[in-house]
Chains A and B, each alone.
Chain A
């Protein structure tokens, strides 16, 4: 009898340990998500079937999995934060989250992570949320394959798509973000990766990086954002294989680098931006294998930058290759291909025999006096440019590529 009792107890314990599935929906065990969550125990799965759920703020405060089947709609009615994650180990998958509250006092989000770790947010659709996915003190979380769309016109009315603040070891993978203020926003985020995201048509930046070190962003597309991408006050940031396209306008940049050090910018493509890369107070950056095509300015390197190494890049069809604001040059620009190079190669080693000066006199003048742009490509300015090439006086003497390539690199 005693033995049997023991076995029974063990069985009971086992069954209690086993994760249950709690279905939510019309004609299912639970009608609302909230009741299912209160009933759920650690490790359970809440399956939400399709339908519209208006349940104000849903708080996930235990390590459970919330899965939407056929994208159930979770509506915040423009008043509430839709999902708040307050426990580690939560997974949210396959939900359609719409219309979170909009506030200038609180940061309402579609999904917000509060001080926890190992959260997975995957394959959700977020529409018209203020902030999309917000991580506050999150650690080791994965935000993957979500689709975020917002349609506000004013920056104040819109939050950021994926917003991470004081987080660590985040993985932001393959999300699509449009129409938010900043597509992806990082502040005090370390050791994280942003991979294969598509951030387009956001009101301000496609990607906004502040005080975030030891991060990488790889193979993302940043297209047609109000002000491009901005990376500031960080070190050890790696930017590899990204696309920066059509970031147009005054103060719009492919990448804006400010107070950045020890980074890598490799194998990126900058196409049709007003300014491909703008650097200010930047040091120790390695740049190679990038392609700059049809930009207004491929690069603007301010004199406050040092130890920037630009080698093995292609500069094709840019209006201006380089611009700078002073005569001090502490950077090297050797071994790139410049389509404006007019030198020769007598010994046939595919390296031009005379150095190339990427800063034209006209770009120096325009930098000092922007309205001169109205005379661009006129006879007199090309005449001045030619004289400057023969006798450099205005352009910085050391700003040159001593080994310009004769043929474009295959990139």
Chain B
């Protein structure tokens, strides 16, 4: 991911100011309202979802700071991509909808992860089919191997 020095400083200091421990510590005692599969079914309207082909989810294997984890998703010709974090207290992360002037159907952002988990992305492709993929991210709290 490309960030200039200023971006690094801004995100770094604000993450430190917020404190990363409370958010992660709270994650365990809040019950998610809907399960991962329920949310995916809601997104697809119950249609069949195939694994892999046609969708790419890029995330670091190890995230030292769960408060800001860079991810990027890409699905050629997709109209929508849903990103879910099954290990978070609130599973949905973001839904990207691509318009007619979108270039490559890809986007990068930074997300919060409460714990080590399989970040999941589901895309609605141009032909109306759905594909999903997942990437395991290890979250080491405090950066000293939690």
B is bound to A: no
